[in-house]
């Protein structure tokens, strides 16, 4: 159940990478952000750049 999963992931973070792409298949990563503070699946605060993780983590997410 979702409650069981949430209890296991008590220190989890919601990280996102913003991607911009065109119709020709070109894509770039704009930035990463931490969207962990949410209420009822709505983002309350988006922190960018995210200071909770290293830049290496976002570089790996961008690949």
For 17-40, what is each residue's pLDDT tens digit?
889 999 999 999 888 888 888 888
Task: Let me know if residue 30 belongs to a domain.
Answer: yes
Q: What is the pLDDT of residue 20?
A: 93
Task: Let me know if residue 7 belongs to a domain.
Answer: no
Task: Let me know if residue 51 belongs to a domain.
Answer: yes
Helix (H, G, I), strand (E, B) or coil at 59: helix
**45 vs 35: CA distance, rounded Å:** 6
Whether the pTM exceeds 0.75: the reply is no
Task: Let me know if residue 5 belongs to a domain.
Answer: no
Q: Is pLDDT above 80 for 8?
A: no
Average pLDDT, the chain: 83
What is the residue-wise DSSP string for 15-51?
EEEEEEE-TTS-EEEEEEEEEEEEETTEEEEEESS-S
* Mean pLDDT across 2-7: 64
**62 vs 32: CA distance, rounded Å:** 9
Q: How many domains does the chain have?
A: 1
- Domain ranges, residue 54: 13-62
């Amino acid at each position: 159940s979702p409650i069981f999963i949430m209890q296991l992931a008590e220190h989890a973070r919601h990280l996102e990478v913003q991607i911009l792409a065109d119709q020709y298949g070109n894509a770039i990563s704009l930035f990463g952000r931490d969207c962990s503070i949410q209420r009822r699946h709505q983002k309350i605060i988006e922190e960018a750049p995210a200071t909770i993780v290293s830049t290496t983590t976002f570089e790996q997410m961008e690949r």
